[in-house]
């Protein structure tokens, strides 16, 4: 059975607050954020949500990033105590590699029209994953989605990130990256 939150009842007064609670929340980066020489993931200043206790959410998003070759990008999340869920992303694996059809081998390379190996595994909602980089000026993207079920504690749900390998060159999460969260129960 499909879930929706909230479920309006017959005769219920429709208020602005009720209508807002039915809509997805969208957090969009309004400025680039750069991090260098750190592998400690911390909350992005734009990609955070306040979540309610005893609730269920689905979420998805699009992240645009770049960084030094081999600097890579760690993606992690912080959620309220007791929260459970899963997430996954379609993004470049580490080391970024592409298929070369002559001969058929996988090789470390820069951007090629033949594509990249993609990281696709599912993760616990507070488990980090590392995604590859191609060097500054060669932006990559992550398509990201997941679920979040809170327990008796509400609080902040945030996308946390850092470099996968400490590098003096900035890793950047770009303006207009976004996450969208919808409460379903």
pLDDT, tens digit (0-9, with 9 covering 90-100), for 113-163:
444 577 888 999 999 999 989 889 999 999 999 999 999 999 999 999 999
Q: How many CB atoms are located within 10 Å of the residue 154 CB?
A: 16
Global pTM reads 0.86
| pLDDT digit string, tens, across residues 169-180 | 999 999 999 999
Task: Please name the residues in contact with 72: beta carbons below 8 A apart, sequence gap of 6 or more.
Answer: 94, 130, 131, 132, 133, 163, 164, 165, 171
Give the mean model confidence (pLDDT) for residues 36-55: 97
Q: Residue 115 has what pLDDT?
A: 46
Q: Spelled out in words, what is the top-level CATH class assigned to the domain 29-91+122-183?
A: mainly beta
pLDDT at 110 over 70: no
Give the residue, 85 or 92, on which the prediction is more confident.
85
pLDDT at 185 over 70: yes
C-beta separation of 72 from 163 below 8 A: yes
* Six token digits for residue 102: 């002559």
Say whether pLDDT at 87 is over 60.
yes
Where exactly are the structural domains of the chain?
29-91+122-183
């Amino acid at each position: 059975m499909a879930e929706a939150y909230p479920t309006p009842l017959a005769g219920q007064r429709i208020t602005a607050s009720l209508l807002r609670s039915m809509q997805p929340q969208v957090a969009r980066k309004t400025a680039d954020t750069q991090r260098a020489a750190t592998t400690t993931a911390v909350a992005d200043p734009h990609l955070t949500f306040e979540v309610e206790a005893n609730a269920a959410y689905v979420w998805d998003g699009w992240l645009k990033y770049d960084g030094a070759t081999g600097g890579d990008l760690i993606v992690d999340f912080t959620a309220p105590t007791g929260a459970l869920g899963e997430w996954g992303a379609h993004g470049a694996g580490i080391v970024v590699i592409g298929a070369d059809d002559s001969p058929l081998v996988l090789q470390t390379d820069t951007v090629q029209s033949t594509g990249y190996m993609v990281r696709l595994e599912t993760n616990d909602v507070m488990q980090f994953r590392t995604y590859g980089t191609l060097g500054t000026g060669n932006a990559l993207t992550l398509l990201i989605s997941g679920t979040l079920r809170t327990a008796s504690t509400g609080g902040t749900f945030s996308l946390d990130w850092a470099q996968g390998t400490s590098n003096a060159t900035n890793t950047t999460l770009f303006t207009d990256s976004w996450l969208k969260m919808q409460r379903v129960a």
